Structure 1
Amino acid sequence: MEPVFEFPIELGKRGPGSRVQRLHQQLRAAIIERRLAAGTRMPSTRRVAQAYGVARNTVIAAYDLLMAEGFIVTRAGAAAEVADVATRADTGTSKRQRRLALRPPAMAWHKAPGATSERVTVSRTFELGIPEHRWFPSDIWRRALLRSTSLALADAFGYPAPEGRPLLREAIAQHVAYARAVVCTESDVVVTSGAQQAFDLLARVLVTRGQTKVAVEDPGYPPLRAALSAAGAQLVPIPVDDEGLVVERLPPDVRIVCVTPSHQFPTGVAMSLARRRALLDFAQRHRAVVIEDDYDGEFRYGTQPLDALQMLDRNEKVIYVGTFSKSLFPALRLGYVVAPPWLMKTLAAAKQNADNGGNVAVQEALARFILDGHLARYTRRMRKRYARRRDTLLAAIERELGEWLIPVVPDAGIHLYARYRDRRQAKRIASVAAHYAIGAQTSGDFLLGRDASAGPAADAGIAFGFGCIDEDEIEASIARFAHAMARA
C-alpha cells in the first residue's frame, strides 16, 4: 500500500522506544517543522496502520498523545486536523520537541467490579489530594486486570524482579518522557508501592542516621518528612515564596534537597527557571542530591508546561518520584522512582528487602492500560473537568471571599491556595472554614515548625481541594463560607 504521508516514516521492529513513541515523535516533528501544515486532515488510524504494517491501537495511541499535547484537534463528525502551533513556545529547540508531551490529571477508585454506586465512600468536600471517581473507565480497567491475571499465572511460582515488571517499567519510561519530559529509559525506573514507599526507600539508602541534613520545603508535604525523620535525617526547613523554594537559604552542609517544583505543596506555586538552575548549581557545588516529587505536576491548565527539573540535570543529581494515585486512583498503590545510574543497584536492593517486586498482575494491567493509550485518553477528559472546577472555585473566592482571601491562580494540580489578606484573621478564617469549607486546610497544618514564633513559619493561607467536589457544590459552599465570615 502507498504511504499516507509525503515524508518517510520509520517504524521498524528495532530502534529507540516503542512503535507508539517513534510514530508520535516523527509526526510531532513533522507538525512543528510545517511538513504537516495547520488545518491538514490527518489520515484515519486504520489507513495509517495498514500503510505502515502496525496495529491500529499503535496509531490510536500516537494520535491520542498528539491530541493531548494540542498538536492535532478533533471536531464532532470530522477527521482529526493539524492544529496551529505557530504560537507555541520553544518550537525551535529540537530536544524539547521530542520530550514534551501530555499532562495527565487525577482520579480515585470508582468501585469494585460489580459493585453499585452506593458503595462509593468518597465525600464531596474540599479535601486535598482526593481525585474524582465517577468517570474512571472501570470496565476497561477490569478487562486489563483479567487479562493480566491470566498472563501472570506463568510467573506465579517465581519471585519478580525488585525493580518491577519490565513491561511496566517500559510504559512508565515512555509515559514520563511524554508527559513530563523526563529523560530516562526503563533501566532507570524502579516501581514502588506508591510515592510513600519511594520516599521511604530513598530515605533508607541516602540518609545516615543522625548525620545527614535534608532540606525540606516549609510549608511542605508531611508524608515525605515523616519518611525522612524515620530514617534519622536532620530536617532543615526552607521557606517558599512566589518562585518556589528559596534556594539562597540552603545551608552549605545540606546533602539532600526535597522539592515539589512543578506544583508546590500546599501553595501551588511553580519553581521558576532561575530557581531551578540555582538549585542544580547548589547540588553540584555542594555534592548534594535533589529529590523531585512531581506532585500534581502533570495536571496543567492551558499553560505551556515547565519541564521536570530532572530534564535540566546534567550531573545525575536529581532523583524523580511520581505516582498514579491522582492520575488514576489512590488504592492502586503504584508509584515509581527514576534514578541516576549510580543509585539503581542500591535502590533495587532496598526494594527487594521491602517487598521483592510487588503485585505482578496489577503491574501488568497498568502497563497495558498505559501502552494502549487509555491513560492518555482518560487524562485528557479529566483535565477538562478539573479545569472547570478550578475556574469555578477561583471565581467564587474572588467574588465571595475577596475581602479576606487572595487566591493564587493554580496552573496545575487539583487544589487552590489562597493567602490571607490580613494574617491577624487567620484563626477566625480557619475556624469558619472548618464548618463551611469542610476539608480545606491551612498552610499551618503543613509547617515543620508550626509552634515556632513568627517568621517564615507563620500561617499564611488556606488550601481548597477541588478534585472531588462539583461546581454547584463549590459555589454553594463558598457562598455559605462568605456569609458566615460576614456575620462573624
Structure 2
Amino acid sequence: MYLELDGQGPHYGQLVRALKAAILDGRLAAGARLPATRALADELGVSRNTVLAAYEQLRAEGYLDSRVGSGSYVAALETRRPPRRPPQRAEAQSRYIERARRVHVRGVARIHQGLRYNLQYGDPVTNPALSSAWGRELARAAAYTGLESPPAQGLPALREAVCDYLARRRGVRAQPDDVLIINGTQQAFALCTRVLLDEGDPVVIEQPHYFGARQAFAAHGARLVPVRTDREGLVCAELPQEAPKLIYVTPSHQFPGGTVLSLPRRLELLRYADAQGSWILEDDYDSEFRYDVHPLAALRELDGGERVIYVGTFSKALFGALRLGYMVLPPALREDFIIAKYLADFGSPAIEQMALAKFIAEGSFERHLRRATKTLKARRAAMLQGLRRYAGHRVDVEEGHAGMHLVAWLRGYTPERLDALIALARRYELGLYPIAPHYLQPPPRQGLLLGYAGLSAAELDTAMRLFGRCLDEMG
C-alpha cells in the first residue's frame, strides 16, 4: 500500500493525515480492507503502536469500520474530490520557446485528416506491398544489427549506400565520410541553426518556401530575408547586399511553386555565396520523382562541395513514418555537424538504418522508385485532366514536371472567399490546402497546393469533379 508521510510532527499524526487523504480522494474506496497493523508498520518503518493509534483515531472520526476477526475497512462515506484547477500553461521559459510559440502553427498540413478526398501534399501511397516489404527488412536487420548505440554520424553501410545512390541518380560525388544520417529533413534545419546561426543572423529563404524550414529558422532567432522566385527559380539579382549566413533553396523542384532553378542562376548563386562567405542549404526533397524532364546538376556538384550542404530524405520517397534522411557536408563543417547530431540524440536508430542500407544495396529502393514514379505520373495526369475538365478557366495551374503536387491559382478570389471555398469543399469530404502558409507576406494571388500522391487516378477524377462543383457553387 503506497502512503506518503508528510514528515510533519509525530508518525501517528502523519499516518492519520495520509490515510484520510487516500480515503477522501478515492484511492481507498468504501469497503476497502486496510493492511494488518503489523504489515503496515513494517512497510512504513514505524512501530505497530503508531499504526494502532492511527487506526483508532480514524475509527473514532468515522473513517474506518472494525469487523471482529476480519480487520479494519474504509467506511461508506460521501466523499467528493475537490475540483481540479484547469491546467495552466507556464510562461515561456526561454527566448527560443517564446519565438517558437509565435511561429509554430500546429497541424497546417493535416487540417483535413480523415476526409475521403484529402489532397494533402507529401504522403505518398503508391505501393501497397511496401509496408510488408519494409517489415521483412526490419526483421532481418534486427537479427544482425549490434545492440550497442550506433555512431552519431550513421552506420557506415547506410552512408556507403547513400553515396552509391546519389552518384547513380543525381550525379553527386561524395564519400561516406561526407555523409551524416539524420532523422528527416526537419532535423537538418535544426542542426543548421545550431551549427551555423546565432540569434539575429540573416537567412535567405525563397518566396514562397517550405513553412517547416521557416519555422525552424525563426524559432532559433534568425532574421529571415525572403527573395522572390519566378519561372527560373530564385531571382539571384535580388539577393541582399548584406551577406547572409545561410541561403535556403529548393533548386531541383522549388517548393511549392514547382519551378527549376536555371543553370545560369545556379552559377550566379554559387558565385554570390563564395563572394559573401555564405553557406547554401540545398533541399533536394523529392527529385526522385521527375516526369519527362532531365534533372540539372545539383548545386553541390557544381560547387565541388565547398559552400553547399546537400540534404535528402527517405520520408518522401518511401513513407512518412520513416524518419531518416541524410546530409552531404562540406569538409570544413563535417565535424561540427557530427558533434551537433551527437548532442541532439546520439545517432539515428540503428536497426532502421541497417534495414534501409540493405533495401538500397539490394536494388529494392530503386525498383520501388521506378514503380512509384510511374504511378505518380499517372496520378498527376489525372489531376491535370480533371482540373482542365471541371475547373477550366477559373484556375491557372502551375504544372511542374516533378514531385507530388500542383499549384492552382484561383482567379478573382480574396482570402475570405478562399476560406469559404475550403469550408464548402470540406462538406463534400474534399480537403483543400491554401498556399498562403508558405509565404512570409501575403501572396499576390490566392492559390491552392493540390497533392496527388495519396489518391488513385479514379479518386483524383472524383476529387476534381467535386472541386469543380464547389467552384460552381461559389459562383
TM (normalized to structure 2)? 0.72
CA distance in 2, matches of 1:352, 1:417: 39
**1:478 is the counterpart of 2:469:** no
Q: How does 1:204-219 map to 2 (within 5 A)?
A: 204-210=194-200, 212-219=201-208
C-alpha contact 2:258 2:406 (8 A) present in aligned 1: yes
What does residue 98 of structure 1 align with?
Answer: none
Q: Deviations over 1:262-288 (max 9, x none)?
A: 111111111111211111111111111
User: Match for residue 15 of structure 2?
Assistant: none
TM-superposed CA distance for 1:393, in Å, is 0.6
SS of residue matched to 2:352: helix
Please point out which of 183, 196, 199 is paired with 1:193.
Answer: 183
Paired amino acid for 1:250: L
Give the corresponding residue for 1:232. 221
- Tell me the equivalent position of 2:18: none
Q: Could you tell me whether the CA contact under 8 Å between 1:426 and 1:461 is conserved in 2?
A: no
| Residue identity matched to 1:474 | L
Among residues 387, 402, 425, which one is paired with 2:392 in the alignment? Answer: 402
Aligned partner letter, 1:138: S
Select which of 413, 437, 444 maps to 1:445.
437
Q: 1:140 aligns with which of 133, 140, 150?
A: 133
Contact 2:425–2:431 under 8 Å retained in 1: no
Taking the aligned partners of 1:335 and 1:354, their CA distance within structure 2 comes to 15
Tell me by how many angstroms 1:183 deviates: 1.9
Q: State the shift of 1:226 in Å.
A: 1.6
CA contact (8 A) 1:168 1:367 kept: yes
In structure 1, distance between residues paired with 2:316 and 2:117: 16
Kindly tell me: are residues 479 and 426 of structure 1, through their superposed partners in 2, closer, same or farther at Cα, counting changes over 3 Å? Answer: farther
- Larger CA Rg, structure 1 vs 2: 2
Instruction: Give the fraction of aligned pairs with identical amino acids, expressed as a percent.
Output: 38
**Partner letter of residue 238 of structure 1?**
V
Of residues 306, 321, 324 in structure 1, which corresponds to 2:314?
324
Choose the corresponding residue for 1:151, options 144, 152, 163: 144
Query: 2:126, 2:376 within 8 Å by CA — same for their partners in 1?
Result: no
1:384 aligns with 2:377: no
1:40 match = none
The aligned counterpart of 1:183 is 173
Alignment partners' CA distance in 2, 1:306 and 1:217:
19
Task: Give how far 1:295 is off.
Answer: 2.2
- Match of 1:281, as an amino acid? R
Provide the C-alpha distance between the structure 1 equivalents of 2:316 and 2:115, rounded to a whole number of angstroms.
Answer: 14
Give the alignment of 1:422-441 within 5 angstroms.
422=412, 424-425=413-414, 427-436=416-425, 438-441=430-433
1:368 and 1:163 mapped to 2: Cα distance?
A: 18
Q: 2 CA distance for matches of 1:413 and 1:217?
A: 18
Select which of 343, 361, 372 maps to 1:353. 343
Q: CA deviation at 1:255?
A: 2.1
Q: How many pairs align?
A: 358
| Residue 366, structure 1, aligned to residue 352, structure 2 | no
Residue of structure 2 equivalent to 1:251: 240
SS in structure 2 of the partner of residue 464 of structure 1: strand
Partner of 2:7: none
* Preserved CA contact (<8 Å) 1:407 1:417: yes
Amino acid at match of 1:188: D
Structure 1 outlier segments of 4+, above 4 Å: 120-124, 424-427
**1:428/1:403 Cα in 2 relative to 1: closer, same or farther (>3 Å)?**
farther
Which secondary structure does the structure 2 equivalent of 1:406 belong to? Answer: strand
Residue in 2 that maps onto 1:288: 278
Written as runs of structure 1 = structure 2, the 5 A alignment for 1:64-213 is: 124-132=117-125, 134-152=127-145, 155-156=146-147, 158-210=148-200, 212-213=201-202
Tell me the TM-score normalised to structure 1 length: 0.70
Q: Distance in 2 between matches of 1:136 and 1:255?
A: 44
Q: Secondary structure at the residue paired with 1:337?
A: strand
- Of 300, 304, 307, 2:297 maps to 307
Pairing 1:335–2:321 present: no
* Aligned-residue RMSD, C-alpha: 2.0
Name the structure 2 match of 1:83: none
**Against the structure 1 CA distance between its residues 480 and 138, is the aligned structure 2 distance closer, same or farther, given a 3 Å change threshold?**
closer
Measured against aligned partners, the alpha-carbon deviations of 1:72-121 in whole angstroms (never above 9, x if no partner) come to xxxxxxxxxxxxxxxxxxxxxxxxxxxxxxxxxxxxxxxxxxxxxxxx98
| 1:463-486 residue CA offsets vs partner (Å, 9 max, x unmatched) | 100000112221122222222322
Q: Distance in 2 between matches of 1:460 and 1:298?
A: 29
After TM superposition, give the deviation of residue 247 of structure 1 in Å.
1.2
Partner Cα separation in structure 2 for residue 240 and residue 263 of structure 1: 12
Residues 191 and 337 of structure 1 are in contact (CA less than 8 Å); yes or no, is this contact kept in structure 2?
yes
